[in-house]
Amino acid sequence: NSFVTRTNTCGELRSAHVGQKVTLYGWVQYQRQGLFLVLRDFQGLTQIIIPQDEAHSHVKELLSNTPVESVVRVTGIVSPRPLGQENPKMPTGEIEVRAETAEILNSCKKLPFEIKDFIKKSEALRMQYRYLDLRSFQLQSNLRLRSHMVMRMREYLCNLHGFVDVETPTLFKRTPGGAKEFLVPSREAGKFYSLPQSPQQFKQLLMVGGLDRYFQVARCYRDEGSRPDRQPEFTQIDIEMSFVDQAGIQRLIEGLLQHSWPEERALIITPFPSMTYEEALAEYGTDKPDTRFGMKIMDISDVLRGSDIHFVQNALSYPHGSIRAICIPQGVRYLTSKDLESLKESAKSHFNQEIMEIIRRPDGSLKSLLTKFLGEKKQSELIHALNMEEDDVVLLAAGEHKQVCSALGTLRLLSANLLEAAGLALRDPTAFHFLWVVDFPLFLPKAENPTELESAHHPFTAPHPSDASLLYSDPTKVRSQHYDLVLNGSEVGGGSIRIHSAEQQRFVLEEVLKEDSKVLSHLIEALEFGAPPHGGIALGLDRLISLIVDAPSIRDVIAFPKSFRGRDLMGNAPDYITPEELEPYHIQVSWPLEEKEAKKN
């Protein structure tokens, strides 16, 4: 209560304060029949008793007619609640304040929605009136937890480990490859700034500059449209170190998270487990596995290799062909026929992958179109290989390794959702399973043109020391020194050891990625002036906090987020500007015909 005129907050009064005269400020949460009201501020709720005697009639009239969510000041005496009227659900439930004076500081007009967490509101309405939505307990709690964690992270990095907090520019130039960047016009005709998708180049240049350890709560930008876990502007905990290896970065991040982890959440155990990219794909069908539950993908190629099943033999005849499956526990009991059909349809529509189902009956026998091709011995081997119990359902896929694993990885997650919706507890909502994924490929074929390569991480990532020679002979086989941090199936961080040789950086850009290295001439030249070996990582702060508080979207942990389509519905941005305002930037807008007509009208 320092620096302000209140004596207490609405969340701190207890029995020990009985008899004290207090002054509270807050919003009217609720008012009942002119008898009492509940006052709310950032810290909690206090019940205010409205006086009924003639001497305080003006106070009664004022408080009885105050609209909900109006801002008021109340001065009164703290009193114990009458016996039997205590509210154990409220931290202040043992007391009430008997009002003596009151003042309406600002009256509230009719609300577009009630300020209560349990009231369902459309997200568009919440975005439009974000300043009202921020009054909810859940958003207040999320933002305060976020603030506390960032403060603890600063303490760990700067005070305990000598990192330097450096602000890097947000007006820069286009970076080749990676996500689309927002353009900012300049007053020089035809020239534009770009808003950086990360401070990547600057933090590497800080290492060349000898700062040794850099850190920043960095604002980043991507012109990609919004998804539940993406925003056009977002925040990273950005880190870079000189003379470090992958293990050093991993130990730093594990210590950082342990130090800043909220006390009210389940403890996290370090060191975090680690898994290679190939292992993650083979066992979970994704590079960001959710390890809170089993249902791993299993390779049953050897079990079925000698069978007479045509599609099995056809798949195994290819160089990267395999037969894999997932076993859904108690699938017969929890999944309907419609559920199983939807799973198979999902694999077909998203991966062009056919799925065969196998059910183990209560008598131990198998029910499947495959059983007529398999003798009792093979069926027994299959049951053993898949660890099938009674009423389990197996989803089997045959084909190219990566496609099969990706399809089954998606079905694994969809099946888990269906099982939990049907009442089977599979994933502990209070558990936090961190995982390092390492040894990514350095390059991947471009989706639109598989004969060309793109960086799996970014073009500044160093090759794995064991594969350095392959960079010049067969770059598709090179592993990288790229590492991702995964939490409960979501990527919350990514980093790498960087290329610190100008010659190697130029080769990657020009010969492998076919990019114009002149765009990065400043960075390449800097590497020629004694650049130290260095590496770093960036943690996605929005996504990390959303997982910790179990929010459905990162928009629930950002004070003023953009909508699903990347718009600010409260301030109506982006917005039109006049031709006169555009003139200094040498820009003219070419309007689509329908928008021309709309502007005329």
pLDDT in tens, 320-370: 999 999 999 999 999 999 999 999 999 999 999 999 999 999 998 999 988
Residue whose C-alpha is closest to residue 370's, from 396, 407, 342, 400:
396
Residues paired with 241 in a beta bridge: 213, 535
* pLDDT(230) > 90: no
Residues 345 and 298 in one domain: yes
CATH code (residue 53):
2.40.50.140
Q: What is the DSSP letter of 157?
A: I
pLDDT digits (tens, 9 = 90+) for 438-491: 999 999 999 889 999 999 999 999 999 999 999 999 999 999 999 999 999 999
CATH code (residue 188):
3.30.930.10
DSSP reduced 3-state for 484: strand
- In this structure, is residue 255 part of a structural domain? yes
Confidence of residue 178 (pLDDT cuts 50, 70, 90): low
Choose between 565 and 502: higher pLDDT: 502
Residues 413 and 496 in one domain: no
Q: Mean pLDDT in the chain?
A: 94
pLDDT digits (tens, 9 = 90+) for 535-560: 999 999 999 999 999 998 999 999 99
Q: Hey, what are 88's tokens?
A: 């154990």
φ, ψ (nearest 5 deg) of residue 297: -75, 135
Q: 483, 436 in Cβ contact below 8 A?
A: yes
pLDDT of the residue at 216 = 98
Q: What is the DSSP letter of 3?
A: T
Residues 323 and 351 in one domain: yes
- In this structure, is residue 125 part of a structural domain? no
Residues 268 and 308 in one domain: no
Residues 188 and 307 in one domain: no
Give the pLDDT mean for 264-279.
96
Q: 529, 501 in Cβ contact below 8 A?
A: no
Of all residues in the chain, what percent carry a pLDDT higher than 70? Answer: 97
Helix ranges restricted to H, 65-212: 123-128, 130-133, 137-154, 161, 200-208
Q: What is the DSSP letter of 197?
A: S
Confidence of residue 507 (pLDDT cuts 50, 70, 90): very high
Split into its structural domains, the chain has a count of 3
pLDDT of the residue at 227 = 67
Cis peptide before 574, with omega less than 30 degrees from 0? yes
Query: Among 66-70, 273-277, 372-376, 437-441, whose mean pLDDT is lowest?
Result: 372-376
Q: How far is CA 511 from CA 393, 470, 474, 500, 520, in A?
A: 49, 13, 12, 17, 15
CA 282/CA 404 separation, integer angstroms: 9
Residues 541 and 442 in one domain: yes
Q: Identify residue 452 by its one-letter amino acid code.
A: E
Q: Rounded to the nearest 5 degrees, what angle is found at the Cα of 489, between the Cα atoms of 486 and 493? A: 25
For residue 248, the surrounding DSSP H or E stretch is helix 246-260
Query: Among 145-154, 345-354, 586-595, whose mean pLDDT is lowest?
Result: 586-595
pLDDT of the residue at 177 = 66
pLDDT of the residue at 600 = 61
Residues 180 and 77 in one domain: no
Choose between 121 and 512: higher pLDDT: 512
pLDDT digits (tens, 9 = 90+) for 186-206: 999 999 999 999 999 999 999
- In this structure, is residue 123 part of a structural domain? no
pLDDT of the residue at 169 = 97
Residues 254 and 323 in one domain: no
- pTM value surpassing 0.85: yes
pLDDT of the residue at 369 = 87
For residue 453, the surrounding DSSP H or E stretch is strand 453-455
Residue whose C-alpha is closest to residue 91's, from 159, 148, 41:
41
- In this structure, is residue 598 part of a structural domain? no
Residues 150 and 254 in one domain: yes
CA 31/CA 34 separation, integer angstroms: 7
Q: What is the DSSP letter of 599?
A: H
Q: Identify residue 407 by its one-letter amino acid code.
A: A
- In this structure, is residue 176 part of a structural domain? yes
Confidence of residue 595 (pLDDT cuts 50, 70, 90): low
* pLDDT(176) > 80: no
pLDDT digits (tens, 9 = 90+) for 277-320: 999 999 999 999 999 999 999 999 999 987 888 888 899 988 89
Q: Hey, what are 204's tokens?
A: 């590497």
Confidence of residue 229 (pLDDT cuts 50, 70, 90): low
CATH code (residue 359):
3.30.1360.30
Residues 378 and 448 in one domain: no
Please say which residue of 395, 422, 449 terminates a domain: 422
* pLDDT(117) > 80: no
CA 227/CA 553 separation, integer angstroms: 9
* pLDDT(116) > 70: yes
CA 120/CA 190 separation, integer angstroms: 48
By CB atoms closer than 10 A (0-12, 13-18, 19+), residue 303 is: buried
Measured in Å, how far apart are the chain's first and last C-alpha atoms?
A: 54
pLDDT of the residue at 598 = 62
Residues 84 and 50 in one domain: yes
Residues 71 and 193 in one domain: no
pLDDT of the residue at 597 = 63
* pLDDT(172) > 90: yes
- In this structure, is residue 6 part of a structural domain? no
DSSP reduced 3-state for 577: coil
CA 560/CA 544 separation, integer angstroms: 17
- In this structure, is residue 551 part of a structural domain? yes
Confidence of residue 422 (pLDDT cuts 50, 70, 90): very high
Confidence of residue 592 (pLDDT cuts 50, 70, 90): confident
Please say which residue of 106, 130, 159 terminates a domain: 106
Q: Rounded to the nearest 5 degrees, what angle is found at the Cα of 473, between the Cα atoms of 468 and 479? A: 40
3-state secondary structure 20-56: CEEEEEEEEEEEECCCEEEEEECCEEEEEECCCCHHH
φ, ψ (nearest 5 deg) of residue 318: -85, 155
Residue whose C-alpha is closest to residue 486's, from 442, 440, 535:
440
pLDDT of the residue at 531 = 97
**Domain of 341, in residue numbers:** 293-422
CB atoms inside a 10 Å sphere around CB 345: 11
pLDDT of the residue at 332 = 95
- In this structure, is residue 213 part of a structural domain? yes
Give the residue carrying structure tokens 């155990």: 269
Q: Identify residue 222 by its one-letter amino acid code.
A: R
Contacts with 552 (C-beta within 8 Å, 6 or more apart), sequence order:
228
pLDDT of the residue at 599 = 60
Q: How far is CA 161 from CA 202, 253, 485, in A?
A: 21, 12, 21
